[in-house]
A = this chain, B = another copy of it.
């Protein structure tokens, strides 16, 4: 079968009717904020009027609001290729990173280095530096990615990396970093914000120790959706939450004088779950589970192929510069590229109902989400790019 048939056959994850979005919109900006899941509005009305309205304080137990962080976490763990009981939804990605970095440093007080790479997401670097400011004896070692392996030595407490580079879209090899870190006794902490929900992760196989991720990108959990933390089972009870709040306590309702951590992943919770935001996130996660993450990854790659095929003439003519050597093994759910007059191009595409992401000064970013993007849309986008760059 030809390319076109192959693409069409691949569109099995497509669930556009499950989203509220303007019909004419091609939305390729899903790694900033995934589109609105249609079932969220009803779910929020039920949560507000039927649950909160009818049961008031009794609603916490009656509607499982208190266990939602673990229950939604268990569903997310299916996207991570991780065991049940390893993932908890809480707080923001930044606060979760802060908790896990502090916790990782406390595991072996002899290890005083947080190792990360210069290309990491800026807020991840800020958080690492925050932890370095609090612990005067801790060094935050920020090196080029190419120097990470040689920098891994027994002084390293934790290697903190983003799985996918937020600019380029380059996916990094989790398994090899994990293996090398393990060989020197360092823990790994991955930020999977730009891969969870669009790539079929396999934490168990690749040996991830800890991770955080964001709820509002490919999980389609809504604006400011709560984030999640992952800790592999046999590490959980070794970790102490540096922010000891009542819901990480073993018996939160006893209001005892001393803090006693809950066992398992629950100890990483701090305050009361934000119910509305959790309810919205649950709908986004369920939609992904319904489609199947293997299929989502597969179809995302088909969208990527269609884009690359369409773009090929202007790549060849040097109008588009990828930020890395794009190979099948480092493809993720998005690609970033440099182009002349990127901002103007972004606005021209917007005027044609094609939403991409522009990053100062010359970067365009395109996400390939088969839940709501078709091969046709991708081909039209590539054609439009060619046209706008004068490449007929």
Contacts and interface: CB of A to CB of B under 8 A. Distances in A.
B44 A276 contact: yes
B91 A223 contact: no
Contacts of A301: none
A51 to B, nearest CB: 8
Nearest to A254: B360
Given A271-B94, A276-B223, A243 B127 contact: yes
B60 A33 contact: yes
Interface string A127-150: 101100111000000000000000
Contact of A244 (B36, B56, B130, B274): B130
Nearest to A214: B272
Interface in A18-43: 19-22, 25, 27, 29, 32-33, 35-36, 40-41
A35 B56 contact: yes
A59 to B, nearest CB: 7
A339 to B, nearest CB: 19
Contacts of A49: 20, 36, 41
A262 B225 CA distance: 23
A246 B94 contact: yes
A154 interface: no
A94 B270 contact: yes
Nearest to A35: B56
Given A44-B48, A60-B33, A355-B56, A275 B243 contact: no
Contacts of A275: 222-224, 277
A280 B102 contact: no
B102 A95 contact: no
A20 B133 CA distance: 47
Contacts of A223: 52, 59-60, 65, 272-276
A86 to B, nearest CB: 22
A53 B242 contact: no
A278 B355 CA distance: 26
Interface in A57-85: 57-60, 65
A305 B275 CA distance: 35
Given A56-B27, A259-B129, A277-B276, A271 B36 contact: no
Closest 10 CB pairs of A and B: A92-B271, A20-B53, A94-B245, A223-B275, A123-B246, A36-B53, A224-B274, A276-B276, A44-B44, A36-B52
